[in-house]
Chain A
Amino acid sequence: MNTLRERLVAEPERFEFGAVPMHQFDLARREFFKILGAGIAVFAVAKDALAQETAPGSPSFHSEESPKEITSWLHIGEDGMVTGFTGKAEMGQNIRTSISQTLADELRVPFESVRLVMGDTALTPFDAGTFGSRTTPTMTPQFRRVAEAARNLLIGVAAKEWNVPPEGLVAADAKVTHPASKRSLTYAELARGKTLAQNLPAEDPITPATEWKIAGKPLPKVDGRAFVTGNHKYTSDIRLEGMLYGKVLRPPSFGATLVSYDDSAAKVMSGVTVVRDADFIGVAAPSAHEAHKALDAIRTQWKEVPQVSSKEIFSYLKKNAEPSSNERFRHQKGSLEEGLAAATHGLEVTYNVAYIAHSPLEPRAAVAQFADGQLTVWTGTQRPFANRDELASVFHMPESKVRVIVPDTGAAYGGKHTSDAALEAARLARAAGKPVKVVWTREEEFTWAYFRPAGVIEVKSGIASDGKLTAWEFHNYHSGMSAIETPYDVANQLTQYHQVPLVLRSGSYRGLAATANHFARETHMDALAHAAKMDPLEFRLKNLSNARIRAVLEAATRSFGWPRKKTQDGQGFGLACGTEKGSCVAACAEVAVDLASGGVRVVRVVEAFECGAIVNPDGLRNQVVGAIIQGLGGALFEAVEFENGRITNPHFATYRVPRFRDVPEIEAVLLDRKDLPSAGAGETPIMAIAPAVGNALFDATGIRLNDLPLVPSGLGKG
Chain B
Amino acid sequence: MAMQIEVNGKRCAVSYPPDTPLLYVLRDELGLTGTKYGCGEGQCGACTVLLAGAPRRSCQIPVSAAAAKPITTIEGLEKEGKLHPVQQAFLDAGAFQCAYCTSGMVMSSVVLLQTNANPKREEIVQFLQGNVCRCGTHPRIIEAVQHAAKMMQERAR
Q: A interface vs B, CB < 8 Å?
A: 91-94, 220-221, 224-225, 227-234, 236-237, 239, 245, 287-289, 359-363, 408-411, 413, 439, 441-442, 618-619, 622-623, 625-630, 651-653, 657-661, 663, 666
Contacts and interface: CB of A to CB of B under 8 A. Distances in A.
Contacts, number: 169
Contacts of A289: 16-17, 20, 24
Given A362-B98, A409-B98, A663 B16 contact: no
Contacts of A91: 98
A666 B36 CA distance: 28
Contacts of B106: 228
Given A234-B100, A236-B37, A652-B39, A630 B128 contact: no
A509 to B, nearest CB: 13
Interface string B87-120: 1101100101111111100100000000000000
B31 A228 contact: no
B28 to A, nearest CB: 6
Contacts of B133: 361
Given A630-B136, A661-B125, 7 more contacts: A91-B98, A411-B134, A625-B137, A651-B39, A651-B41, A652-B43, A653-B43
B70 interface: no
A228 B129 contact: no
Chain B interface, DSSP helix/strand/loop, else mixed: loop
A245 B28 contact: yes
Contacts of A361: 36, 38, 44, 46, 98, 100-101, 132-135
Contacts of A661: 125-126, 129
A230 B102 CA distance: 8
B74 A229 contact: yes
B99 A232 contact: yes
B134 A360 contact: yes
Interface string B3-33: 0000000000000110010001001110111
Given A410-B100, A661-B129, A229 B37 contact: no
A233 B46 contact: no
Contacts of B33: 230, 233, 236-237, 239
B40 A92 contact: no
A626 B74 contact: no
| Centre residue among A91, A221, A227, A658 by max chain B CB count within 10 A | A227
B136 A627 contact: yes
A653 B44 CA distance: 9
A661 B139 CA distance: 11
Contacts of A93: 97
Nearest to A243: B28
Given A361-B46, A411-B100, A439-B37, A287 B24 contact: yes
Interface residues of B, number: 58
Contacts of B135: 92, 361, 411, 626, 630
A652 B59 CA distance: 14
A603 to B, nearest CB: 14
Given A224-B94, A361-B38, A653-B43, A630 B102 contact: no
A625 B136 CA distance: 7
A362 B36 contact: yes
Nearest to A233: B33
B62 to A, nearest CB: 11
A359 B17 CA distance: 30
A626 B137 contact: yes
A663 B96 contact: no
Contacts of A409: 98
| Centre residue among A224, A619, A661 by max chain B CB count within 10 A | A224
Contacts of A413: 134
Contacts of B74: 229-230
Contact of A630 (B35, B43, B46, B134): B134
